[in-house]
């Protein structure tokens, strides 16, 4: 079994620090939480607004450290089509085979 960490647990760290810590502790992968810039608690890494600026660096760093990216995890709702399209594009750039989104809330 492979082990990875969901980065919401490490939200105060940069993506570089997270990758180095996980690799140093022997984890096999990193499940990146994806935010967007208007979130009050936006983390210091991986958001939908400017990912084109850093996606290649994140992928290269993970590859160098031997970390897989099994999933990108977001809190996007299925009705946010433009954001989900950007999430899929980021997943493609990082080589992540899955993304997590929220289903519609039913009342």
**Residue 53 carries which DSSP code?**
G
Q: What pTM did the predictor assign?
A: 0.86
In the structure, what pLDDT confidence band is assigned to residue 52 with cuts at 50, 70 and 90? Answer: confident
Rounded CA-CA distance 1/52 in Å is 32
CA 53 to chain centre: 14
Rounded CA-CA distance 95/70 in Å is 8
Rounded CA-CA distance 92/48 in Å is 13
**Using one digit for the tens of pLDDT, what is the confidence trace for 60-94?**
999 999 999 999 998 888 888 898 999 999 999 99
In the structure, what pLDDT confidence band is assigned to residue 96 with cuts at 50, 70 and 90? Answer: very high
């Amino acid at each position: 079994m492979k082990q990875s960490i969901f980065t919401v647990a490490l939200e105060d760290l940069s993506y570089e620090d997270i990758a180095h810590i996980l690799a140093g502790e022997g984890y096999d992968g990193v499940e990146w939480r994806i935010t967007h810039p208007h979130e009050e608690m936006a983390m210091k890494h991986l958001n939908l607004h400017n990912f084109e600026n850093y996606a290649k660096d994140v992928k290269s760093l993970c590859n160098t450290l031997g970390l897989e990216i099994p999933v990108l995890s977001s809190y996007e709702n299925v009705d946010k089509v433009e954001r989900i399209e950007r999430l899929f594009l980021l997943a493609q750039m990082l080589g992540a085979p899955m993304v997590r989104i929220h289903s519609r809330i039913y009342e």
